[in-house]
Amino acid sequence: MKSLMGRVIFHVDMDSFFASVEKRKNPALEGLPVIIGADPKGGKGRGVVSTCSYEARKFGVHSAQPISKAYKLCPHAVFLPVNMELYQKVSERVMALLRSFSDRFEQVSIDEAFLDVSEKVKQYTSPQQLAERIKDEIRRKEGLSCSIGVAPNKSAAKIASSLRKPDGLTVVNPEKVKEFLNPLPASKISGVGRKMQERLASLGIKTIGQLARQPLDKLTEHFGRWGLRLWEVANGLEEDEVEDSYPIKSLGTEHTFEEDVGDWAVVEDCLNSLVEKVHRRVLEEGFLFRTVGVKIRFEDFETFTRSKSRQIPTNQKEVLHEYAELLLKEFKDDSRKLRLIGVKVSNLQKVGKTRNLLEWSR
Ligand code: TTP
Ligand code: MG
């Protein structure tokens, strides 16, 4: 087994990300409860909270809560719609900055990344000093705060970043990983959702320490390969690499018809096969996508592109198909014949191991 000694992993997670970006854009919101999500419509709104500022969290508001509930809990909050384009741009700048501080860099979501800084950290007096430097840079350049966890592996770093939010910094020394993990609830492990937590509790397992002390056989008997994973994480033995984020920005394909096509049924057939192809590649590469785009070229070579994004990344073919079809529909009534259509997905992220575990435990 490779040694964890010498590895320095950071997990960086922006604080109340969408809400903080809105606050930076409009300083009048400073200190106020701000809720980002669906329109509350005076308490009758449908849809959910995307996120909220820490001021709103004091009232019990949280991500994924029905917006009507959030309105009941905190009617005087400032409610704002999701401005994804803006958050995406800010995210790209933050991620570029984080990447510049790391030997290896893996973005895991719009506001979260792992950094392997094992080499880079040698230019600083301590991991703590490098983490503080990163926090300062993000504050100075973007006016935003983040929380950082430092540990010799990814799972402990991720847990560490969550402990002192907002504006937190938690350093776990390599020889103290187990000591750090033992008292924490098992639900702190990424992927242990409510169901998994209940199953663990039924076996008398509440803390990570209790999980760590279980015989491995017992865990694999109950949870299959995830049992091994849980046991490794709980014992501070997980050794996943920080996987450099994939340079591929989008995946797509297009088709030029042999002869220009006027029959919409033919276009739809072609769209189906393009969707199949793109989806196969998405699965092969292990991606999730947020954005679906189409391209359409008429017989006179006039070309259009359209795209539609969703908030939550997915790898579902149904979503890809539904969005592509919807986007193409705009052109259905055009009297010109079609020369080409194309389909692509973008805003990609890799399906991490934790995400598999997450889906499995739901
Ligand atoms: P998180 O990092 O989970 O949340 P956060 O950054 O708002 O707050 P924290 O300080 O606890 O890290 O998610 C990042 C962004 O992703 C968040 O700002 C909004 C979006 N998001 C949703 O739209 N829906 C959700 O259910 C969650 C959890 C996040
Ligand atoms: Mg966050």
Mean pLDDT in residue range 117-136: 97
How many angstroms does the Cα of residue 338 sit away from the middle of ligand 1? 42
Contact in structure between 309 and 84 (CB atoms under 8 Å): yes
Of 37-46, 216-225, 249-258, 260-269, give the lowest mean pLDDT range: 249-258
Q: What are the residue ranges of CATH 1.10.150.20 in the chain?
A: 182-234
pLDDT at 354 over 60: no
Q: For atom 28 of ligand 1, which residue has the closest CA?
A: 63
Give the per-residue pLDDT at 258. Answer: 87
Mean pLDDT in residue range 158-165: 98
Question: 252 or 162: whose pLDDT is higher?
Answer: 162
CATH number given to 21-82: 3.40.1170.60
pLDDT at 198 over 90: yes
How many angstroms does the Cα of residue 63 sit away from the middle of ligand 1? 7
Cβ-based neighbours of 57, under 8 Å, separated by 6 or more? 16
Question: Which ligand neighbours the alpha carbon of 47 most closely?
Answer: 1
Question: 311 or 120: whose pLDDT is higher?
Answer: 120
**Domain 9-17+85-175: CATH architecture, name and number where available:** 2-Layer Sandwich (3.30)
Q: What is the mean pLDDT of the chain?
A: 92
How many angstroms does the Cα of residue 112 sit away from the middle of ligand 1? 9
Mean pLDDT in residue range 190-211: 94
Tell me if 18 CB under 6 Å of ligand 1: yes
Mean pLDDT in residue range 262-279: 96
Q: For atom 20 of ligand 1, which residue has the closest CA?
A: 50
Give the per-residue pLDDT at 358. Answer: 39
From the candidates 22, 55, 106, 112, which is the catalytic residue? Answer: 112
Question: 5 or 45: whose pLDDT is higher?
Answer: 45
Q: Closest ligand 1 atom, CA of 14?
A: 6
Give the per-residue pLDDT at 4. Answer: 59
Q: What are the residue ranges of CATH 3.40.1170.60 in the chain?
A: 21-82
Contact in structure between 21 and 84 (CB atoms under 8 Å): no
Tell me if 20 CB under 6 Å of ligand 1: no
Best CATH choice for the domain 250-360 from the list 3.20.20.70, 3.30.1490.100, 3.10.580.10, 1.10.645.10: 3.30.1490.100
pLDDT at 360 over 60: no
pLDDT at 128 over 70: yes
Tell me if 15 CB under 6 Å of ligand 1: yes
How many angstroms does the Cα of residue 111 sit away from the middle of ligand 1? 8
pLDDT at 27 over 70: yes
Q: Is the peptide bond before 75 cis (omega within 30 degrees of 0)?
A: no
Tell me if 294 CB under 6 Å of ligand 1: no
Distance linking the first and last C-alpha atoms of the chain: 32
Range 182-234 classified under CATH 3.40.50.740: no
112 is catalytic: yes
Mean pLDDT in residue range 15-38: 97
Give the per-residue pLDDT at 109. Answer: 83
Of 92-96, 236-240, 244-248, give the lowest mean pLDDT range: 244-248
Q: How far apart are CA 228 and CA 219, in angstroms?
A: 7
Contact in structure between 169 and 132 (CB atoms under 8 Å): yes
Return the best residue to mutate from 51, 53, 82, 108 for the ligand 1 pocket (most ligand atoms within 8 A of CB): 51
| Beta-strand relationship, 49-52 and 104-109 | unpaired
Judge residue 284's burial from the number of C-beta atoms within 10 Å of its C-beta, 0-12 exposed, 13-18 middle, 19 or more buried: exposed
How many angstroms does the Cα of residue 19 sit away from the middle of ligand 1? 9
The pTM for the full model equals 0.74
pLDDT at 326 over 60: yes
Tell me if 51 CB under 6 Å of ligand 1: yes
Question: Which ligand neighbours the alpha carbon of 290 most closely?
Answer: 1
Tell me if 161 CB under 6 Å of ligand 1: no
Give the per-residue pLDDT at 68. Answer: 96
Q: What are the residue ranges of CATH 3.30.1490.100 in the chain?
A: 250-360
Sheet strand arrangement including 49-52:
49-52, 34-37, 78-80
Q: Closest ligand 1 atom, CA of 82?
A: 23
Q: For atom 12 of ligand 1, which residue has the closest CA?
A: 15
Q: Give the confidence band of 247 by pLDDT, cuts at 50, 70, 90.
A: low
- Residues paired with 185 in a beta bridge: 207
Question: 123 or 361: whose pLDDT is higher?
Answer: 123
pLDDT at 353 over 60: no
pLDDT at 314 over 90: yes
Mean pLDDT in residue range 273-299: 92
Q: Which amino acid is at 40?
A: P
Tell me if 10 CB under 6 Å of ligand 1: no
294, 51, 100, 105: CA torsion to nearest 10: -70
Q: How far apart are CA 333 and CA 141, in angstroms?
A: 48
How many angstroms does the Cα of residue 273 sit away from the middle of ligand 1? 35
